[in-house]
Structure 1
């Protein structure tokens, strides 16, 4: 049986966002992939979904530019009606974010504002803008990090911005629960993506160090994170809301 739901995945052109879009499409879900600057990468995700028999399209969205969200939402609703005969979303995956790292003495106000403004403020206002399009019984999955549970030098502001997203998820799970909307957080551990300039993917020494800190003895693959997000969006976990699912291979237990 195919699932004709509609999902929107922010930052869906690469890494965890791309894997999430592919995992949702494999369930039969139609997917809107957003991107900030990687138009070609987003187009590649769309092409891969279509080649596998699914349906998808891409739209530009900068989650750091809250002022653009009204126009984006209007254009999204119009495009959904034109392409798929519906202006309703069933799944929203807030994956897009940035990572700026530095020790206490190195963090500038500008870097602080950009990080919190994108990862937390942007996520909050994306949800606010798109909830009117989200049908009753919809699902929201926010992407956090295992660093909200354990620590690593130079990650204080980044981790705090993601911890704020986790608290937001729990609060909104209660607020939107009467509509049957489920909100959960997925917290990836060290994964071989291009995040942070691809450090965990390309630096064999770093990857070996991080792998030794996990119970399963390796860093994760983006597909494993995407599969977990798709599982949370599925009916199989329909009684789960307000939860944080860490997908880290047992990092630093």
Structure 2
């Protein structure tokens, strides 16, 4: 099915967003949809939530959102989700690599399985999915990787996670060179946007984390969504290989 008119007299651009069921991924999908994009919402463990969000967005503009279930740890499913994302509207304009595993792994207790899982979700899957999507992306398309603002000031106990995100930041620059001039590749580096659902902090710990942020507050998912929307827009047509920090100054503290 060809991409439908977005209501503004032009064909809607199409974005594939990974990890789009909840939190930052859902905010990115909702923001892009609100600006006329058709959206492909990827999820796996939270696929029911992704389907519910797709139905909500589709009710706002018919034929504008779908949800796809895929385990991005499986390379075969990565290829399948890329093909399915393109097939729905016979076009693909953007990929947002947002899906991520994140949990504490203190040195001395790290397992090979934990390393494999954190590398798979934060580095291997974005690389393989980018590779699968590149032949399908329209000329002038774009990729945005969600990295982390604390790569230069990492927290203790998260070594595999930060190693994987550092690789993703490097990958952003490498792919920007390799895919230019046809496709732009950029990153967004969130700071403290939402409290984690795993490794929950006490109120005292939350207050201490907020005190570290120069702007003294969480950023919220919408701040990342708007940064991603900018990097995918024509306003950022001369921006590639950049990683945009959206962290309230946390990286400087």
Q: Alpha-carbon deviations, 1:152-203, whole Å to 9, x = none?
A: 1112211110010010110110110032x1100101001215x452736xx4
Q: How much has 1:77 moved relative to structure 2?
A: 3.4
Q: Tell me the TM-score normalized by structure 2.
A: 0.90
Secondary structure of the corresponding residue to residue 183 of structure 1: strand
Please name the residue that 1:191 is paired with: 193
Query: How many Å separate the matches in 2 of 1:158 and 1:3?
Result: 39
Instruction: Please list, as runs of the form range in 1=range in 2, the aligned pairs for 1:145-224 lying within 5 A after superposition.
Output: 145-179=148-182, 181-193=183-195, 195-197=196-198, 199=200, 203-224=202-223
Please name the residue that 2:239 is paired with: 240
Q: Tell me the TM-score normalized by structure 1.
A: 0.90
Please name the residue that 1:47 is paired with: 55
Please name the residue that 1:61 is paired with: 70
Unmatched tracts of structure 1, length 5 or more:
none
Query: How many Å separate the matches in 2 of 1:164 and 1:171?
Result: 10
Instruction: Please list, as runs of the form range in 1=range in 2, the aligned pairs for 1:105-184 lying within 5 A after superposition.
Output: 105-179=108-182, 181-184=183-186
Query: How many Å separate the matches in 1 of 2:241 and 2:48?
Result: 35
Query: How many Å separate the matches in 2 of 1:132 and 1:186?
Result: 23
Instruction: Please list, as runs of the form range in 1=range in 2, the aligned pairs for 1:88-99 lying within 5 A after superposition.
Output: 88-99=91-102
CA contact (8 A) 1:3 1:27 kept: no
CA contact (8 A) 1:3 1:29 kept: no
Of 52-61 and 69-78, deviating more is 69-78
Instruction: State the Cα RMSD in Å.
Output: 1.8
Of 46-55 and 161-170, deviating more is 46-55
Please name the residue that 1:37 is paired with: 45
User: By percentage of residues, which structure has more helix?
Assistant: 1
Cα 1:26–1:32, aligned 2, differ >3 Å: closer, same or farther?
A: same
Q: Alpha-carbon deviations, 1:68-107, whole Å to 9, x = none?
A: 22333333333x1xxx3x2x21010000010132222111
Unmatched tracts of structure 2, length 5 or more:
1-7
Please name the residue that 1:23 is paired with: 31
Query: How many Å separate the matches in 1 of 2:40 and 2:158?
Result: 31
Aligned length: 243
Secondary structure of the corresponding residue to residue 249 of structure 1: coil
Secondary structure of the corresponding residue to residue 104 of structure 1: coil
CA contact (8 A) 1:3 1:28 kept: no
Residue 77 (str. 1) matches residue 86 (str. 2)? yes
Q: Alpha-carbon deviations, 1:216-238, whole Å to 9, x = none?
A: 11112111111111111111111
Query: How many Å separate the matches in 2 of 1:147 and 1:156?
Result: 12
